[in-house]
A = this chain, B = another copy of it.
Amino acid sequence: MAAMDDEKAIDLVTKKRKLQNEEEACHQIETRANLGNMDIVGVLNDNPREKCLFLHTKISGDDAVVLMEKTPFDTKTLTQLISQDTSLKETLKNDIYSTFETHLPYHLNVVKTTLIHPATAKHLSKYRQQKTFAICETEEMYKNVTKPFLQEQKFSIQWVYNILDKKSESDRIVFEDACPKDGFVLLPDMKWNRKDLSQLYLVAIVHNRDILSLRDLNHTHLPMLNNILHKGMEAIRKQFTVMPSKLRVYVHYQPSYHHFHVHFTHLDLDAPGFEADRAHLLQDIIDNITIKSDYYQKKSIVFKLRECDGLYIKYKESRYFN
């Protein structure tokens, strides 16, 4: 037993020495690039849940953006993680539960840093945490603030028409119902690689060009909405063997572009955009319009705006926040 312990101790000392040599070698090579020549201007954003930090800095007087993100655990290095090279300091013990401040071996302690230098004002604004506000948009507010703003904007949605007219992305179409009134095309969202099924993300874009958003839907659109829900789910079951009980089918309000479209995502996809103040389940939309044809014309709808959104400025001007 004692011999075993001695052996283990020698083994441990050897391992530590090896590790220290490695660390020093790394340190010497890597410190060629360093952050010591930067001045910190401030924190643009700090996300404790995702372990990210975005900084505004200056390098030789120029603006720079530094994006730091701790890397995920790598399940391929489990035996190195759970080893004598990982050190633990007990911080709490209560019955069967203990907590430890832990230091992993050097090579598992990686942070991914992205540097943008020189950075423009647009970069700074892109990475700066925006103040957000909840709006409870009444029927009147939609008519007097939101709709006039949308009409003023006239964002180009030519890229949507190119898809519907098969002028682009026609090879990506997964399913089509060609009916000009109730039909749609279904294709993978740009964010999905078409491989990992738990990350599945498709979008149904309708052929009808007259629907700006949820606000325009009424009972005349029920055949189209039922079409999308049932034919969309069926196409996904056939082509990707993903069952309806693994799918979320929803619409954004406000949408990111004003031509009616529906999102199909996998239940396990942990992506933003499914919050209850942005996502409206297609099943609920169909039920609500069936109960009351003008449900979405009359209903107050809650949504979130960021300080930098043009619509936020309109709401501020309309004295909504007073």
Query: Can you show 13 pairs from A to B with CB atoms below 8 A apart?
Result: A31-B87, A33-B89, A34-B87, A48-B73, A96-B118, A97-B114, A99-B112, A99-B113, A101-B112, A250-B276, A276-B279, A291-B291, A292-B292
Asked whether B277 lies within 8 Å of A281 as measured between CB atoms, the reply is: yes
Question: Which one of A133-141, A142-150, A162-170, A219-227 is at the B interface?
Answer: A133-141
A1 within 8 A of B: no
Of B36, B103, B119, B321, which one neighbours A96 at CB under 8 angstroms?
B119
Residues of B within 8 A of A135 (CB): 245
Fill in one digit per residue for A266-309: 1 if any B CB lies within 8 Å of its CB, else 0: 01101000111111110110011001100100011010100000
Asked whether B101 lies within 8 Å of A110 as measured between CB atoms, the reply is: yes
A68 within 8 A of B: yes
Of B34, B75, B133, which one neighbours A84 at CB under 8 angstroms?
B34
Question: Which one of A51-59, A152-160, A177-185 is at the B interface?
Answer: A51-59
Binding site for B on A (CB under 8 A): 12, 16, 20, 24, 26-27, 29-31, 33-36, 38, 40, 43, 46-53, 55, 57, 66, 68, 70-73, 75, 78-79, 81-84, 86-90, 96-104, 106, 109-119, 132-136, 243-248, 250, 267-268, 270, 274-281, 283-284, 287-288, 291-292, 295, 299-300, 302, 304, 321
Give 8 nearest A-B pairs by CB, closest first: A48-B72, A36-B84, A30-B87, A276-B279, A53-B73, A102-B111, A33-B88, A100-B113
The minimal Cβ–Cβ distance linking A45 to chain B, given in whole angstroms, is 11
Residues of B within 8 A of A66 (CB): 82
Residues of B within 8 A of A24 (CB): 20
The minimal Cβ–Cβ distance linking A204 to chain B, given in whole angstroms, is 17
Asked whether B73 lies within 8 Å of A46 as measured between CB atoms, the reply is: yes
- How far is it, in angstroms, between the C-alpha of A285 and the C-alpha of B63 when the chains are bound? 48
- How far is it, in angstroms, between the C-alpha of A57 and the C-alpha of B79 when the chains are bound? 11
Of B26, B97, B304, which one neighbours A116 at CB under 8 angstroms?
B97
Asked whether B295 lies within 8 Å of A291 as measured between CB atoms, the reply is: yes
The minimal Cβ–Cβ distance linking A72 to chain B, given in whole angstroms, is 4
The minimal Cβ–Cβ distance linking A67 to chain B, given in whole angstroms, is 9
Of B53, B75, B79, B274, which one neighbours A275 at CB under 8 angstroms?
B274
- How far is it, in angstroms, between the C-alpha of A281 and the C-alpha of B57 when the chains are bound? 40
Asked whether B35 lies within 8 Å of A86 as measured between CB atoms, the reply is: yes
Of B20, B133, B302, which one neighbours A246 at CB under 8 angstroms?
B133
Residues of B within 8 A of A72 (CB): 46-49, 51
Asked whether B84 lies within 8 Å of A98 as measured between CB atoms, the reply is: no
Residues of B within 8 A of A89 (CB): 29-30, 33
Asked whether A57 lies within 8 Å of B84 as measured between CB atoms, the reply is: no
Residues of B within 8 A of A268 (CB): 132
Asked whether A36 lies within 8 Å of B83 as measured between CB atoms, the reply is: yes
- How far is it, in angstroms, between the C-alpha of A96 and the C-alpha of B114 when the chains are bound? 10
Asked whether A133 lies within 8 Å of B270 as measured between CB atoms, the reply is: no
